[in-house]
Every structure is written in C-alpha cells, then in structure tokens.
A and B are shown apart, each in its own frame.
Chain A
Amino acid sequence: MPNPRRPDRSVVTTCAYCGVGCGFRAETRAGRIVRMMPWKEGKANHGHSCIKGRFAYDYYDHPDRVRQPLIRDSIDQPWRAVSWDEAFARAAAGLRAVQARHGNRAVGAVSSSRCTNEEIFLVQKFVRAVLGNNNIDNCARICHAPTQFGLSATIGWGAASQHFDSVLQADLIMVIGANPTEGHPVFGSMLKRRLRQGAKLIVIDPRRTESVSSPHCSAMLHLALRPGTNVAVLNSLAHVVVRERLYAEQFIRERCEWAEFEQWAALVGGEQYAPEVVGPAAGLDPEMIRAAARAYAAGPRSAIYYGLGVTEHSQGSTGVMCLGNLGLACGMLGRDGVGVNPLRGQGNVQGGSCLGSWPHVFSGYRFVTDPETRASFEREWSVPLDPEPGLRLPNMFDAAVAGTFRGMYIMGEDPVQSDPNQNHVIAALRNMECVVLHDLFLNETSKYAHVFLPGSSSLEKDGTFTNAERRVSRVRKVVEPLAGLQDWEVTVRLMNAMGYALHYDGPGQVLDEIARLSPAYRGMSFELIDRIGSAQWPCDENAPEGTEVLHRERFPRANGRGTFMLTEYVPTAERTSERFPLLLTTGRILTQYNVGTQTRRTANSRWHPEDRLDLHAEDAALRGIRDGDWVTITSRFGQIRLRAQLSTRVNPGIAYTTFHHAKSQANAVTSDHSDWATNCPEYKVTAVEVARVTAPGVAPRHEERATLALDPAG
C-alpha cells in the first residue's frame, strides 16, 4: 500500500514561532501539509528544529479557522458572514465615521510579529498615509521595546550584535532573564553544544530554569535574584568591574566616549552598588556577584543573551542599557564570540521593530519628527504625513478608557489575552465604536470587535521574516490561503476601500519599497534572498550579502562611538505587602507558544494541557496547599485560579506560571506598571497572595468557536 503521507511537493519557508526563525521544507500532498522537515541549508538552524516548528502546524486548517469575513453592528449581536467587499466597506465606513466624529487621531492600529515584514510595513503605511496619524504600534511594545530603546542609546542599533553561530566561539555565556532551552530551543541546542566544548555559563534568573540545570546544561553560577532587582544587580556587576579595574581601558578610549565612561563609573562605583549592599536586598550572596563580574570581564570572549526577564520591568529600558554599558566597559562587542543579544520572542519581532510599526519612527528607525525623513516618505507615498508621534499601544487603551480613542485595526493580535491588566483593556475595547480584527481565529479580543477579517497563516503567504540575529529569510506560500486572501492583500484592499489607490503585483514589490525607504534594508530583495538563502541587515552597497557581526569598526551613532548611560536603580512601585506577600513571575514552556492560539490547536497540548502555578514547598505548607490543589492567585488588579505545583525551581517568596492557555487568564492579575521609557508592561513582577480552594470554580471564559458564534440565520 502506498504511504498516504508521502509528499508530492515541497516548499522552503521560515518557521513563524520563535525568534530563531528556522528554515523548513514544508512538504505537501494533494495541497495539504504532511510534514515539516528542518532545512539543512537554513543558516539560522543548520538542519535542526524543535517540537513546535516540526510538529505544531495543524492549526493552519483547524476547524476553528475563520474562513469568511464577519461583521456585526454591536458587540452583543451575533456575527454575520459577508463578502470581502462588504467587510472592507463596513470597516472603512466605521473607521472614517469615528474620525469624523472624534478627530483624525481617534483611530489607530497594531500590527503583529506573526506577520511578514511586508505586511507590517503595509499596516504602518495604512495608518500614516490613509488614517493620517502615527497611532501605530506593534506587539514588541509589550516585549522588546526596551531593547530598541536601551541598545540604541548605548551601542546605536536596537538589535543583536551577533549572528547565532557566534555563540560557538564564546568562552563565557551569560544568560539573563531568558530560558533558551525552552523559549528558543534551536539556539538553546547550539548553546549546549558550546557548553559541552567547555564554555562557562552564568544564569541570572529568579527561577532555577532548565538552562541552569538540565542535560548538557549546567551553570557555573546561578544568580537567583528577586524579581525586580535586575538593575541593582547589573549595576553591582559593573561596580565590581569598575572597582577592581577589570574594564577594557584601551577599547573604551578607542571606541567609546571616555568622559561618559568616567561619569558612569562614578555612579556604579558608588557604595550603594557594592555587592555587599545589593546582595542581601536581591537575595544573593555578594561573592556570587563578584565571581560573575570577574568571569564576564575575564572572557576572553564573553557573550550576553537576554530575554523578557530583562525588558518586562518598570526599569526594562534601564536594564538593557546596563547590558550595553557592561559590554562596552569590558570590550565585549565588535568581534566573534562576544556581544549583547536579545532573544526575540516571536518569529518576526525584529522585523516588526525594523519596519516602522512604532508611533515615533518610520521603517529603518528614523523619526517621524525629523522633516527630512518625513519628506522622503511623503515623496514615495504622495500624501502629507503627521509630524507628531502617535499613541503607543497601552496609551491607545488609556485614551480609549478616557473616550478620546474610538477605533482600531488589530492585525494578528489578542490584546485582551496578551496585554496586562485585562480589565482595563476590556473597558477600553468596550468604549470603541469600530474595532476591526484581522486574525486566524475568533480570539478573546473578537468579543469586542465589529468587523472580523480572516487572516492567513505564515504557511499561506509570501513575504519575509527578520529573525533575532537580523536575518531576513523568505516566507513562501505552501498552501492556498483558507479565506482566499493573503494578509498583505487584505491590508491593501482595506486601504483601497478607504480611498487610497494602491497596487502591488506581489509582496516582492513591497520589499522593494522597504529597501528604498530603509537604509539597513537597502540591498534586500526577493531576488537576493532566493539566490543566497537569507541575508542579515545591514545589507547595502558596503555589505551586499549582509552583515553577521555588528560594531566591528564603529558604532552606528553620530560620532561612531559607543556610550554609557547612567542607570540608577529605581525599585518598582509593585511591592509585596502583608496582603500580597509573594512575587509572581511568568515564562514559557518548550511545547507551547505564547498565548497558545496556534499550539493549543495541535497535539503539542498533550505535553502541557494546562498552566500551573509553581510554588516552593515552604510557601505551600504555610498555606496548606498540596501538589495539584486548586488555588486562587490574587493581586491588586484581579484574581485567577490555577492548579498548584510544588517546585524546587522557585525560591521561597516566588510564584511562577506559564501563560499559554486562555482559560488561565494570567493577565487578569498582572499590574498596570510599565517601563519608564517605552510603556512595556511589567509582566515579570506582580505581588500576589495564593490560597487553596476546593474546586476550580465557575467555568472560566474561553475562546468561542467560529461555528458557535455565527448567527445560524446568517
């Protein structure tokens, strides 16, 4: 009998899950995907893959996928299936009506890092050229916006300084607030390979993560700091570097601003950052801080890899600056095996950052406030553009609650589930008169939407992704879009419906436009990527096939030098108290992805059927909680119920949960504190109390199925 899964066709494309962006050969039979085979020539993954990219693709034709546009007049009505034209007309009329009633700036959009560079670019073009304001943001706002801010302030570009392969030349690897073996597994494997060859590992994380101790992974030092003390601890490392004169004086004099170094050294060299002062406050042995600083400075090749445990804090941007400062002070930038590298969460979150889905910059990180930059976009797009920065995503919701923001185009996002302080987000959405949601599934946010535009998954479209090492790879259409249109076509048709004439023969033309308008992408084209496989930006006349390692000769700042920011520690306003004595922090697990919209609709759920609350046995015993008991988790902002799991991975005083399941509603308890510079939410620190309950309680809200939500008559 012939093998029913034997493929008859294959297409090379890029995985959309995490920021590693593995190359895959997607194999199909009779127009359906039967296998995802890791691509040996893929420069990010070299033929490796993880359990998500390899197996979790079934969501693409899951019965929950919405296959027709839907509309309704108010959110208490059932959805009505309509034609694309009717849906576009309704969305266009709705957004224009809001603008007529409440002003030009009363509408905006958010784009998704699950979408391609070309799609993200088109959404910001839609906002700027068609809506006529800069109210455009992307989901990096709630994850890596501080990376953009903190790294650009110190080393010039808000992106990883290295390519992934660079880790294979590192002597010392410092992983901070990240868990690459679970969150970025293919990079995690590469890191393990280097550890087996003898490199040393330091982990700074409140939790004893798999990166601290698991097969092939054993940290020389684990600084299990209290959530919220990152900046104090990183300043304390710097204190040791400065006081013990471990810094790279020649590098600083040749490549950095010396006067700024001196000012910084005076600050972090102060007694308040001595390990003996910071250690006890952060729950660390001062000698461990000293040992970590000495090992990092000694290198000779030390590399920093960090994640959302650095950025998702009220001092997220300051924390990232601390890393830039440390890298510069110890001369750990500009060569192989070193660097400061964000591990990006979503497949295209680096691309989301590069392509101008921000209220203050166009693509290529150039400011909307700069007349010359603006003029270049005005020439290309033939419309006058708003010279003022727009609202950031959390500020859009703040403004909506105040009644001054009334309409929104949400592409591929579920803010009700993924954004902090859920009750606030729901109040904001309820206040809006026109919410246009563009997604694969009816998610939590769809309950507050008026128009639903069915999206296409990354398996159904053409375009490019930019991974966490700045690598631009092709996304290629493997199967036909279920609802008939690729996402870039949907945005273009919406722009057309709003009166903006625009046509592209294909997304390759959009990339050409991106290249004309964004210096770091100047040399990018479908033709180049098809020819050489992928290319890392900056890609231009000086580097026609891209750039692996940044900052080799100069830093991309006006004077070419790196600089030091003053990073005073300011404790978060979120504090434990008698009522809320535990600190809750959050993270991810290997088999599931973010809020789980995709992975929960695949067999990967067998490994992680529910989110659980990790508690130390001591804290559990104090509250009479046994392993497996249902508990309530209460913060100043809300309450959720989960099952407890006694764990040695967390210290006493700390609670931890994943947030992969909508029914867990982890963001019903997270606070409204945010990063001082970017408003990136402080997901990683919430003061809570945990109490045992006898039953799971009332059935929590969960995502509606498309079929159930449809009006049977419609």
Chain B
Amino acid sequence: MTVAHAPGGAGDQGVMALERLIVMANQIGAFFAPYPPERRAEGIRNHLRTYWDPRMRAELLAHITRGGDDLDPRVIEGARLLELPDHEQRGYYGPPKA
C-alpha cells in the first residue's frame, strides 16, 4: 500500500476512517451553532486549522468536494474557509476567539 504524505495532502486512502472524521466535524459544528453565522464559520475554520492534522483536513475537504454527505451544513460552510488564502494570512491560531 502506498500513502502520499505531502504536507496538506491525503493519500488515495484517507488518513483515518471518514465516518470518524464526520462525527468529529459535526461535534465541532454543534459547539459553534449558537454563534452568529460569520463567527460560527470562522470558529469552525480556526478549530480545524489549529487542531487537525493536515491529512485530516484534506480528507474532510475531499469529502465536501464529493457532496459532503452526512456533514452538518454549518461545518461545510466553515471548512470551506480553509481554502481561502486571505483567511490563512490573517494567521489566527488558538482556542475559539469570542
């Protein structure tokens, strides 16, 4: 079995079971649910960026590209911000910022 390990990239097969990532991502979405839409999306994005291994993020984003079945729409919205360069440049890492 060959697995790609380029930074930020996942192999053909994901780094771990997709179902597990979906559960974890939806839990994150549920925490940020009470926040206003913009902060909610930003909070989900920051959490994934700060605490998830890049292969986990890549696997989640690949799943979203395929339609994102079983994912909370709020998670999809937040995770998509990972792909926007200006969010990367703002450079905030850390616990949810209130």
Contact = CB atoms under 8 A, between A and B. Distances in A.
A108 to B, nearest CB: 10
B71 interface: no
A135 B54 CA distance: 12
Interface in A554-577: 563-566, 568, 570, 573
B90 interface: no
A260 B1 CA distance: 50
Contacts of B84: none
9 contacts: A103-B4, A149-B95, A360-B50, A360-B93, A386-B7, A404-B11, A565-B98, A568-B34, A573-B23
B65 interface: no
Interface in A152-204: 152-153
B67 to A, nearest CB: 21
A399 B24 CA distance: 14
B8 A402 contact: no
A402 B30 contact: no
A153 B95 contact: yes
B56 to A, nearest CB: 7
Given A267-B34, A367-B50, A402 B14 contact: yes
B30 A367 contact: no
Given A395-B56, A565-B96, A565-B98, A402 B34 contact: no
B53 A257 contact: no
Given A102-B5, A570-B30, A391 B96 contact: no
B28 A677 contact: yes
Interface string B62-90: 00000000000000000000000000000
A360 B49 CA distance: 10
Interface residues of A, number: 47
Which 9 A/B pairs are nearest by Cβ-Cβ distance? A103-B5, A676-B27, A398-B16, A153-B95, A367-B93, A566-B34, A369-B93, A388-B54, A563-B98
Contact of A399 (B15, B30, B31, B51): B15
A676 B31 contact: yes
Contacts of B91: 370
A464 interface: no
Contacts of B51: 359-360, 389, 392, 677-678
A553 to B, nearest CB: 21
A382 B35 CA distance: 43
A403 interface: yes
Residue from B23, B33, B51, B53 having most chain A Cβ neighbours under 10 A? B53
Interface of B, helix, strand, loop or mixed by DSSP: loop
Interface of B: 1, 3-5, 7-8, 11, 13-17, 20, 23-24, 27-28, 30-31, 33-35, 47, 49-56, 91, 93-96, 98
Given A388-B8, A570-B31, 18 more contacts: A105-B5, A106-B5, A152-B95, A260-B98, A369-B49, A387-B7, A388-B54, A391-B53, A398-B16, A398-B17, A398-B20, A401-B16, A401-B17, A402-B17, A565-B98, A568-B30, A568-B34, A677-B31
Contacts of A331: none
B27 A314 contact: yes
A258 to B, nearest CB: 12
B22 to A, nearest CB: 12
A402 B3 CA distance: 11
Main secondary structure of the interface of A (DSSP, over half): loop
B31 A106 contact: no
A35 to B, nearest CB: 45
A102 B3 contact: yes
A679 interface: yes
B53 A395 contact: yes
A388 B16 contact: no
Contacts of B31: 317-318, 568, 570, 676-677
Contacts of A387: 7
Given A267-B34, A369-B49, A676-B27, A403 B95 contact: no
Contacts of B35: 566
Contact of B3 (A392, A403, A568, A677): A403
Interface in A86-115: 102-106
A390 interface: yes
Nearest to B49: A369
Contacts of A390: 53
Contacts of B34: 267, 566, 568
B55 A369 contact: no
Interface in A40-70: none
B3 A153 contact: no
A106 B24 CA distance: 21
Interface in A212-236: none
Contacts of B28: 676-677
A501 B91 CA distance: 33
Contacts of A360: 50-51, 93
Contacts of A388: 7-8, 53-54
Nearest to A150: B95
Interface string A562-594: 011110101001000000000000000000000
